Chains A and B, each alone.
Chain A
Amino acid sequence: MQTLRRTARPKPVLYSQKGMGSAANKAADAANKQYKGFVYLPLIAGWLVPGAGHFLLRKWGRGALLAVSIIALFVLGLAMDGKLYSSAQDILEMLGLAGDLGNGLMYIIGRMTGLGGDPVQFTVADYGTKFIEFAGLLNVIAAIDAHNLRTGRKPS
């Protein structure tokens, strides 16, 4: 009796699993060559403007969700009288400044317009400061995700 055997075509390994550099993934990457231009553009654009890296790669839905989430955290942080770090006198301020810088243009515009300049005087303002730092760190993650999509390291 003859058994039917289906020759399984190798599928690309998912992003969260091991084996990202496998032959199947390299073949999948070949289909990812649709993106042209400067390879670091989505990374830089995504850092400067939340979601812009995904927009450049035509990932409209993801880019919009990322932009809304990150901008909302930043704006809520400012609305809660959160502080934008401007100097780094000690290690905690250095870490805060690093987080704030992840916000890209939002941080620069905020500093230029004098937002977030008041010192923290009550608890909610401290929450706001953390919101702003967290928005910056999430923006860096989103920009790196756009870069991974651009290079084909993340399949889709």
Chain B
Amino acid sequence: MIRPSHFTALLLVAVFASTVFGITMRDTPKRMVRYGLYCFSLFVGSAILLSWVMYFMAR
């Protein structure tokens, strides 16, 4: 039984999902890597942004 934090779980999902998205949505290795990194940054960036928005909403 493992118990990652919410943010660690997010990072795990972002890494694996970005890998699959990069491979399946683009057709050359260079573009796959770029798209994978783009997806990863959007996953993590949007989660951090939304969490700050919710932090201020809760106050």
Chain A residues close to B by CB (< 8 Å):
14-16, 62, 65-66, 69-70, 72-73, 76, 79-81, 123-124, 127, 131, 134, 138, 141-142, 144-145, 154-156
Number of A-B contacts (CB under 8 A): 67
By secondary structure, the B interface counts as helix
Kindly list chain A residues whose C-beta atoms are within 8 Å of the C-beta of B19. Answer: 65-66, 69
Chain B residues close to A by CB (< 8 Å):
1-4, 6, 9, 12-13, 15-17, 19-21, 23-28, 31
Q: Are A131 and B13 in contact (CB under 8 A)?
A: yes
Report the separation of the CA atoms of residues A134 and B9 in the bound assembly, to the nearest whole angstrom. 12
Q: Are B16 and A79 in contact (CB under 8 A)?
A: no
CB B7 to nearest CB in A, in angstroms, measures 11
| A15, A69, A155: the one within 8 Å of B20 (CB) | A69
Q: Are B2 and A69 in contact (CB under 8 A)?
A: no
| B4, B13, B21, B24: the one within 8 Å of A73 (CB) | B13
Report the separation of the CA atoms of residues A73 and B18 in the bound assembly, to the nearest whole angstrom. 12
Report the separation of the CA atoms of residues A30 and B9 in the bound assembly, to the nearest whole angstrom. 44
